A and B are shown apart, each in its own frame.
Chain A
């Protein structure tokens, strides 16, 4: 049962991920991306990682994608006004995409030996996850938070700069 669900979700995830790339309308792309996120949410649930699953939905589907849609609707791109990329650019994009795939495959190679053996594990539950994060993985956790803080400060800086240049007083 779980296996069939896994295959179904994987199929749907890959299909909608492809549709993100292939659909002409940017708003449709974003909607397909939201479907992809929901499939990944299902995968997290299958792995018994409830906390990660719901945070994934809240952060990605609930906030980031809403902002994406917001920007796209504000621009209101349609097929005439959409900038068309030339062939050289497409070629370069394909090559860099393939390179990224090579990197991902290389990084994920050999992870099957590290697979979590215990299937009834409760590590994904929020209490256990919090304990593990603040004891065994404290340093990576703190570094990640500093990274996020830096990104936040950077975003504020960029936002400030552009508002200064666009409204000369």
Chain B
């Protein structure tokens, strides 16, 4: 029992640390990718290749003066960024970070917990995440913040629908809600492909919705600086602003992990059973591959951000309700028909 507890605690702390470190270096990566796409050099002063830049940025956030507007509700003002951060960190619990490690005959799973309704948990956490932005934007008592918060909530609700329906099509195919099982089903060999091969449209809808749920460009209307000063975090300064920024990068990391898990085979990689390596070596290699996929998706997020211009708000709503929602319903019906046909 104590063994079990220690191993779970170690795993939780490990996932927590990795999430924070990845999010930290995603900020550095974002600036480097932006610089690369715009033919600049990017941060290169702090440490070799500017590798210490995130630490310097973090320190700067802590040293800045903290301003709480005198008219706002102080408790809710602090609660906003806290909720954003907590919900961003919560979804990592269910991601299968790797297969099992066998040490001294006992097998240790690299997934913290695999509950029966894994996807629903992730979905629930995502849908609660909007409260961080809404409460923060409202408590700021600033018109621009309020507009940002209202935009965020409308956007989240609209894109959650299409996202949910595209996931339902995937669930119908896999027959399970547990993330662990979905990954095991995608294990390689014998013409067994990753889910993206069977659900290309679902994947496309899911990734567009993931962009919207993370408030990333081209859907970053809640913090659109050309119209709303700074959007929902106009009044925030110091580490509370840092928390909002950080939560966005953690969300990006988690959505990349969910995308790789659901559609790109998670920790599985091609020819994994033909290498003739031991079980533990394959597991470690699988985790490395999973992180490779995640980093690719994070890069994709940045690539899109620095390539596409921002949508207008009515275009955003049209895309969500008139394009993605009907497409996802069509995808659902098509999947159902094909499944019926195969079954027969």
Contact = CB atoms under 8 A, between A and B. Distances in A.
Interface of A: 27, 31, 34, 50-51, 54-55, 57-58, 61-63, 66-67, 69-70, 73-74, 76, 125-127
B146 interface: yes
Contact of B131 (A34, A67, A73): A34
5 tightest A-B CB contacts, nearest first:
A62-B127, A54-B120, A57-B124, A70-B153, A58-B124
Interface residues of B, number: 26
B163 to A, nearest CB: 11
B138 A62 contact: no
Interface string B96-127: 00000000000000000001110011011011
19 contacts: A31-B76, A50-B116, A51-B116, A51-B117, A54-B121, A58-B123, A58-B124, A58-B127, A61-B124, A62-B126, A62-B128, A63-B157, A66-B156, A67-B157, A69-B153, A70-B150, A70-B154, A73-B149, A125-B116
Contacts of A125: 116
A61 B115 contact: no
A65 B274 CA distance: 51
Contacts of B120: 51, 54-55, 58
Given A54-B121, A73-B150, 18 more contacts: A27-B138, A31-B135, A50-B117, A54-B117, A54-B123, A61-B124, A62-B123, A62-B124, A62-B126, A62-B160, A63-B127, A66-B156, A67-B153, A70-B154, A70-B157, A73-B138, A73-B149, A73-B153
A50 B146 contact: no
A126 B149 contact: no
Q: Which label, helix, strand, loop or mixed, suits the secondary structure of the A interface? A: helix
B130 interface: yes
A67 to B, nearest CB: 7
Contacts of B153: 66-67, 69-70, 73
Given A34-B131, A73-B138, A54 B124 contact: yes
Nearest to B130: A66
B2 to A, nearest CB: 18
Nearest to A34: B131
Contact of A63 (B76, B137, B160): B160
Interface of B: 76, 115-117, 120-121, 123-124, 126-128, 130-131, 134-135, 137-138, 146, 149-150, 153-154, 156-157, 160, 177
A58 B125 CA distance: 8
Contacts, number: 67
A162 B127 CA distance: 29
Nearest to B176: A127
Contacts of A76: 146
Contact of B157 (A50, A66, A73, A74): A66
B339 to A, nearest CB: 15
Contacts of B124: 54, 57-58, 61-62
A61 B156 CA distance: 13
B111 to A, nearest CB: 17
A138 B126 CA distance: 31
Contacts of B154: 70
Contacts of B150: 70, 73-74
A66 B137 CA distance: 13
Nearest to A61: B128
A33 to B, nearest CB: 12
A50 B130 contact: no
Residue of A51, A54, A67 with highest tally of chain B CB at under 10 A: A54
Contact of A57 (B116, B128, B135, B138): B128
B164 to A, nearest CB: 8
A126 B177 contact: yes
Contacts of B134: 66, 69-70, 73
A145 to B, nearest CB: 15
A54 B123 CA distance: 9
A61 B83 CA distance: 14
